[in-house]
Amino acid sequence: MAALTDFAFMYRWFKNCNLVKNLSEKYVFITGCDSGFGNLLAKQLVDRGMKVLAACLTEEGAQKLLQDTSHQLQTFLLDVTKSENVKEAAQWVRDQVGEQGLWALVNNAGVGLPSGPNEWLTTKEFVKVININLVGLIDVTLNMLPMIKKARGRVVNMSSSGGLVAVIGGGYCVSKFGVEAFSDSLRRELHFFGVKVSIIEPGNYKTSILGQEALETRMKKLWDRLPRETRDSYGEEYFQTYTRKLVNLMWTAEPRISDVTNSMEHAIVSRSPRIRYNPGLDVKFLYLPLAKLPTPVTDFILSRYLPRPADSV
């Protein structure tokens, strides 16, 4: 048994150390680089000497990133929900990479809010999150694929523990389940072209720049606009408890986001990237087991976390 464990450890170590050659000559395109995972990953890859093409939503975010890095990094303003903007970004990338193609696409851009009980949200609010996290990701990928195939590179898609088990209502988990499905089908199709597809499924990491008071204000607005009948069915205590738990979830999140960006970096620079990366102890010991348990058991466990509505049976 000990020998088997040692062999598994050595095999994992070898795969982790088996890096792609000539990294300094390869281009990586990353979305969502204004802050959070995308911002830190761009800096890590620049430190490795790679040529980073960083897409930012705002001019302010792009300028700050340029100041913090070297000439190895270039920026492009991109809103992934606008198809014409995505096409412009693809042409810009094509002009940069030339005949060698694009080594890696990192679909990192995403949002988590608005979230809450499904009944409290509008269809428009679902669509807003899905358009960024899923439809935008698909649009960027489809436009970049010819360049990735030319380089026989890889696609790295940002999913979430919310793509394993739906722990909150709204468009976030819906979009992340979609990212999982798209990534799986894409991986099988692109295998024949020598292209690898990896999925990052992080746990609860602190990336939001939204303050606690701002989140509470948002939740209060959701609550106040509900019809009286809906508010009565849930009750004021439900609203208060739900809001408190949501705030606690966001503000007890793991601040060491390098756990996630290190996984993303490995997916880019390793000759043997993993299909799935699960940074975070909460993923490994909570969300992954919940996703594999029988559905009634998972439902029972998660229902213990939710407050009880006033009009419950």
Asked if 249 and 32 touch (Cβ cutoff 8 Å), the reply is no
Q: Is the pLDDT of residue 30 over 60?
A: yes
- CA torsion 258-203-284-41 (nearest 10°) is -30
The encoded tokens of residue 122 equal: 């509008």
Active-site annotation, residues: 172
pLDDT digits (tens, 9 = 90+) for 89-148: 999 999 999 999 999 999 999 999 899 999 999 999 999 999 999 999 999 999 999 999
What domains lie within the chain, and their CATH numbers?
17-207+256-294 (3.40.50.720)
- Tally of CB atoms within 10 A around 136: 25
Residue 225 confidence (pLDDT): 96
Residue 250 confidence (pLDDT): 75
Q: Is the pLDDT of residue 1 over 80?
A: no
- CA torsion 297-301-306-308 (nearest 10°) is 70
Asked if 170 and 212 touch (Cβ cutoff 8 Å), the reply is no
Asked if 260 and 3 touch (Cβ cutoff 8 Å), the reply is no
Asked if 20 and 8 touch (Cβ cutoff 8 Å), the reply is no
Q: Is the pLDDT of residue 154 over 60?
A: yes
pLDDT digits (tens, 9 = 90+) for 296-312: 999 999 988 889 999 88
Residue 6 confidence (pLDDT): 52
- Total-model pTM: 0.91
Question: In the 8-state DSSP scheme, what is residue 29?
Answer: E
* Banded pLDDT at 18 (limits 50, 70, 90): confident
Rounded CA-CA distance 283/175 in Å is 18
Residue 97 confidence (pLDDT): 97
Asked if 175 and 114 touch (Cβ cutoff 8 Å), the reply is no
**Ramachandran quadrant class, 22 (left: phi over 0; alpha: psi -120 to 50; beta: rest):** left
